[in-house]
Structure 1
Amino acid sequence: MQYQQLGSTGALVSRICLGAMTFGGAGTPPYDAVGGLGQADTDRILGTALDAGVNFIDTADIYAAGESEELVGRALKGRRRDVVLATKLHGRTGRGPNDVGQSRIHVAQAVEDSLRRLDTDYIDLYQIHNFDPLTPFEETLGALNDAVRQGKVRYIGCSNLAAWQIVKALGVSALRGLEPFVSVQAYYSLAGRDLERELLPMIRDQGLGLLVWSPLAGGFLSGKFTRAGAADTGARRTALDFPPIDRERTFDVVDVLTAVGARHEVSAARVALAWVLGQPGVTSAIVGAKRVEQLDDNLAAVDLTLTEQDLAELDAVSALPPEYPGWMQTYRAGDRFPQG
């Protein structure tokens, strides 16, 4: 396993992060489609990941209505110190008006609830799961800062925010002396490279860690899906069509992934993960698994080195179309630099 610095912190995390969305939720949509695994399977997959050198686990309080956190907590018995444990808050966790969002009330309660379910005294990385249009960053960051000062949280991060929202939050932290976000969890894959426009340049400029969720585009890039149909009718995408993709364009990507995989004698999924891990600014790719053999294949992506030909073919089939102001800012940009 390979490890990388988490943003500008001194903490090191594995380049593959085990996502816990497949744990729990049996018989409860949409989590039964994602995984619905019980304790025995959770123990097996999480144990396999840790034995392979993975030290980074990511879950959320809303995954399977909290069951994911409970399963992870039990699976980590005796191995808690071996991992950087991350979870998230924001989504609705109850029927009350304050059981959602990022108010001081909800943050304080959500921290305690996650600690209890995870059966731990501290959360290594606590992340807001989305943007809250009702709560100012001053309030949310103040509440998160309190959790850090109380020793309940070690680092804070964010997920699914726009670049301007993250920079605004960093500004609030700097102005008020509050703990800053150290990482961003965002969707990124060969089927969805949108964050390259604004988010990725900002992340690299601000020295943040980038944790990629759904690097296989909800399983669509696994090689199980072709124009002829799904090779595995039990695949997640057959029941939960998320994240959104341009199917025809993504079928073209799958064709290239399959060809590149054949050259290396590996799966299309392994190639797709290796591409994400090779992108500048990416700290870790979050993978979920329903089977140990699926996890083993994903873990092997850290050892796959793509050739210049591979990268050129994958870039050509997945590149974003030009968009303003990007195309204007790169127009004759070379004029700004001294000529040799």
Structure 2
Amino acid sequence: MVKNGLVVSRTHLFDNATPVEETYRTLDDLVRCGKVRYVGVSNVTGWQLQKIVDTQRQLGLNPIVSLQQQYSLASRDSELEPFQVCKNEGIGVLPWSPLKGGLLTGKVKRGEKPLQGRLGWVAQDARRAYQSHPLWHALPEQMFDIVDTAEAIGKIYGRTIAQVSIRWLLQRDVTTSVIIGATSLAQLDQNMAVNGWSLSADEMAQLDKISTTELPYPYEMIFRANEDRMNHYISGGFVKSLGS
């Protein structure tokens, strides 16, 4: 994969059948011989990511620089564990599915079966449903509340729901860039129009609040206890998640 002119090699998933040492020694060999500039990972849990980081450190390997993970206003679960590791270890996040299969474009209406896009494709056959493009009638009401809030904020700036959703991602403290997809050049141009303007702190807070979910134990207890604590000797200190 080429990102910003640099060759990046990443693992797609954590592989239970292959020793971590074997995988990352191999990737390190590719870096050392000049075939790859940087190494990244994708779709991991927090403990898996930390295991990778610790293994690389123990073996003196080139460290991973990025995590490619599903992340959007409609999918914030990675804030609980993987992004804590990213903040602590200085790893950049590259969100994929930033519009949740088209949900965060506003094309999917409350109570209406979608007829186009990926969610429309899933609606034709429930067996196609996947975490990143779910079945429309299984979506919680909160998802449409998020869309309504993004739409209201977008009207202030003359921006679309999709642009507001991507802008929110770009202003998150762990995000370095956003991976977007498009079915036309017009759609690509529209989704790229997220520079030159910013959401205010209050608007970010509105989007944070409407998209947050109740924190389960022990996260709520840990985040609350650490709300005002910061270790300045680590890369980014402690990250408060889901509604920070």
Give the TM-score normalised by structure 1.
0.60
Mapping for residues 205-216 of structure 1, pairs under 5 Å: 205-216=88-99
> Is 2:79 the counterpart of 1:196?
yes
Instruction: Name the counterpart of 1:257.
Output: 150
- How far residue 230 of structure 1 moved from its aligned partner, in angstroms, is 5.9
Q: Is the 8 A contact 1:269 1:298 kept in 2?
A: yes
Q: Is the 8 A contact 1:277 1:302 kept in 2?
A: no
Unaligned runs of 5+ in 1: 1-19, 21-55, 58-82, 86-123
Q: How much has 1:194 moved relative to structure 2?
A: 0.5
Match of 1:234 among 93, 116, 120: 116
3-state DSSP of counterpart to 1:303: coil
Q: Which residue of 2 aligns with 1:135?
A: 18
- Counterpart pick for 1:321 among 187, 194, 214: 214
The change in CA–CA distance for 1:146 and 1:335 in structure 2 (over 3 A counts) is closer
Q: Which among 150, 153, 165 is matched to residue 272 of structure 1?
A: 165
Q: CA deviation at 1:252?
A: 1.2
**1:166-201: per-residue Cα shift (whole Å, max 9, x none)?**
111111111112222111101111101101111112
TM-superposed deviation, 1:336: 6.8
- Aligned CA RMSD, in angstroms, stands at 2.2
Q: Distance in 2 between matches of 1:185 and 1:237?
A: 22
Q: Are positions 1:84 and 2:5 aligned together?
A: yes
Contact 1:182 1:209 in 2 (8 A): yes
Larger % of strand: which?
A: 1
Check whether the contact 1:203–1:210 (CA below 8 A) recurs between aligned residues: yes
Partner deviation per Cα, 1:191-233 (whole Å, 9 max, x = no partner):
01101111112101100111110111111101111115367x3
**Which secondary structure state, in structure 2, belongs to the residue aligned with residue 288 of structure 1?**
coil
Partner residue of 2:56? Answer: 173
Distance 2:154 2:99 in 1: 14
1:184 is aligned, of 67, 71, 82, to: 67
Equivalent pairs counted in the alignment come to 219
Query: Distance in 1 between the 2:224 and 2:198 partners?
Result: 32
> How big is the shift at 1:244?
5.2
Percent of counterpart pairs with the same letter? 38
Q: Distance in 2 between matches of 1:284 and 1:328?
A: 31
Q: 1:308 aligns to what? A: 201
Cα deviation, residue 251, structure 1: 1.1
Structure 2 counterpart of 1:223: 106
Q: Which amino acid aligns with 1:220?
A: L
Report the secondary structure of 2:62's partner residue: coil
Measured in 2, the distance between the counterparts of 1:213 and 1:333 equals 29
Kept in 2: contact 1:261–1:271 (CA 8 A): yes
Whole-Å separation in 1 of the counterparts to 2:229 and 2:40: 36
Which protein has the larger Cα radius of gyration, Structure 1 or Structure 2? 1
User: 1:301 is paired with a residue of what secondary structure?
Assistant: coil
Separation in structure 1 between the aligned mates of residue 185 and residue 142 of structure 2, nearest angstrom: 30
Cα distance change of structure 1 residues 215 and 169 upon mapping to structure 2, 3 Å threshold: same
**Superimposed CA distance per residue, residues 10-45 of structure 1 (whole angstroms, 9 cap, x where no aligned partner):** xxxxxxxxxx9xxxxxxxxxxxxxxxxxxxxxxxxx
Task: Indicate if the aligned counterparts of 2:49 and 2:82 stay in contact, CA closer than 8 A.
Answer: no
For residue 156 of structure 1, the aligned residue among 9, 24, 39 is 39
Query: Match of 1:297, SS?
Result: helix
Q: 1:209 to 1:267 in 2, by over 3 A?
A: same
